[in-house]
Structure 1
Amino acid sequence: MNSIHEQQAEPMKKDLSGSEAIEKIRSIIDKAGSCFFVTRANFNASHKSRPMSVQKTDEAGNIWFLSAKDSVKNMEISQDTSVSLYFQASSYSDFLELSGRAVVSYDRAKIEELWDPMVKAWFTEGVNDPRISVIQFIPDTGYYWDNKHGNAIAGIKVLISAVSGKTMDDSIEGNLNL
């Protein structure tokens, strides 16, 4: 009889850095589109976690958001720039955690570059709404969980595992260093 340890497949570990890490970040964010944006400072027992739509992920791995100047989130960032982002792009793969710092600006050119008509739900005066600010998230480190062979193969392996009782782990995970 095999021990439990022998039946458990270990996920493949692959740390990524530099351009490879940025490519992984951009890939997952392109699929997810939004994240939980978590600040460290806390005002009046406010929630430090809130959903945010990503406007852009640039070639350097910076992640850009539009935010209200008067939001609690912006006030929290003014007290502590440390921020974490959490992404989930699908049920079985494409999980991402990033830690870094946030910088708030009021750059009109950047606001125009990042503007999307869907954001008008929050900024009713459109791209020229005086309440709009830009948040640039600059990642330092992160961690990802993914699968090696795509969701279809991962799904098949889950079904086979359920029927056979044997683990067929298709996961890959690792640190992201920027």
Structure 2
Amino acid sequence: MDSINRNQPEQNVENLTGRAAVEKLAELAKQAETCFFCTAGDSARPMNVREVDEQGNLWFLSASDSRKNQELAANPEVRLFFQGSPHAHFLTLAGRASVSRDQDKIDKLWSFALKTWFTEGKDDPRITVIKFEPAHGYYWDNKHGAAVAGIKILLGAALGKTLDDSIEGTLRA
């Protein structure tokens, strides 16, 4: 039993609240840029995060006639899943989404590439804004960056020892 414990990594847990939670959420969402946006209708689709605001809300653009918007009208509960790189920057969030047609927010979130989905540009009548308000989340990342984590993985494999560089914890705004 002792030999098993000797090879087990020390668990690094850091539960974050308030400003620290918002900063970690924004960092991981920016790293990933895209998430799986899962509605209560059991539909999951990739969505590009257009903005994370100072309160930790995530903003998306969506088509008014999309299945996603229909599912949100029936039930605003949403889960988001992020993966920023193959071995780090993981985040899951649970919360509620609301849909609006706030033209000022559309203007702020707009980029030319979105014309692929909204062919009439930022004034396309189908564009809606989704505001996601996270209630809680969980993250898993590495403490020292991908390069150090990669070196520790290789060194650990060579030594036959776990050299865990991960850090994980809950997020509450």
Normalising by structure 2, report the TM-score: 0.97
Letter of the 1:6 counterpart:
R
Structure 1 stretch displaced more, 4-13 or 121-130: 4-13
> 1:176 and 1:103 mapped to 2: Cα distance?
21
Residue in structure 1 matched with residue 31 of structure 2 by the alignment: 31
Which whole-Å deviations, capped at 9, do the CAs of 1:47-87 have from their partners, x for residues lacking one? Answer: x1000001111011000000000100000001111001111
> 1:96 and 1:102 mapped to 2: Cα distance?
17
Once the two structures are TM-superposed, the CA of residue 135 in structure 1 deviates from its matched residue by 0.2
| Aligned partners of 1:33 and 1:54 also within 8 Å | yes
> 2:53 and 2:21 mapped to 1: Cα distance?
13
Residue in structure 1 matched with residue 69 of structure 2 by the alignment: 74
Residue in structure 2 matched with residue 140 of structure 1 by the alignment: 135
Once the two structures are TM-superposed, the CA of residue 107 in structure 1 deviates from its matched residue by 1.1
Q: Identify which of 153, 157, 162 aligns with 2:157.
A: 162
In the TM superposition, what are the counterparts of 1:95-174 in structure 2 within 5 Å? 95-174=90-169
Runs of 4+ displaced beyond 3 Å? none
Which whole-Å deviations, capped at 9, do the CAs of 1:96-132 have from their partners, x for residues lacking one? Answer: 0001000000111111111111111100110011110
Once the two structures are TM-superposed, the CA of residue 92 in structure 1 deviates from its matched residue by 1.7
Once the two structures are TM-superposed, the CA of residue 2 in structure 1 deviates from its matched residue by 4.4
| Aligned partners of 1:29 and 1:87 also within 8 Å | yes
> 2:78 and 2:39 mapped to 1: Cα distance?
5
> 1:116 and 1:60 mapped to 2: Cα distance?
23
Once the two structures are TM-superposed, the CA of residue 6 in structure 1 deviates from its matched residue by 2.7
Q: Does 1:92 align with 2:90?
A: no
Residue in structure 2 matched with residue 10 of structure 1 by the alignment: 10
> 1:132 and 1:161 mapped to 2: Cα distance?
50
For structure 2, which runs of at least 5 residues remain unmatched after alignment? Answer: none
| Aligned partners of 1:11 and 1:170 also within 8 Å | no
Aligned residues: 173
- SS of the residue 2:161 aligns to: coil
- SS of the residue 1:60 aligns to: coil
For structure 1, which runs of at least 5 residues remain unmatched after alignment? Answer: 43-47
> 1:40 and 1:4 mapped to 2: Cα distance?
41
> 1:9 and 1:77 mapped to 2: Cα distance?
41
> 1:40 and 1:8 mapped to 2: Cα distance?
37
Once the two structures are TM-superposed, the CA of residue 4 in structure 1 deviates from its matched residue by 2.2
> 2:117 and 2:140 mapped to 1: Cα distance?
32
> 1:6 and 1:164 mapped to 2: Cα distance?
13
> 1:171 and 1:11 mapped to 2: Cα distance?
8
> 2:11 and 2:88 mapped to 1: Cα distance?
13
Once the two structures are TM-superposed, the CA of residue 5 in structure 1 deviates from its matched residue by 3.1
> 1:118 and 1:89 mapped to 2: Cα distance?
21
| Aligned partners of 1:14 and 1:172 also within 8 Å | yes
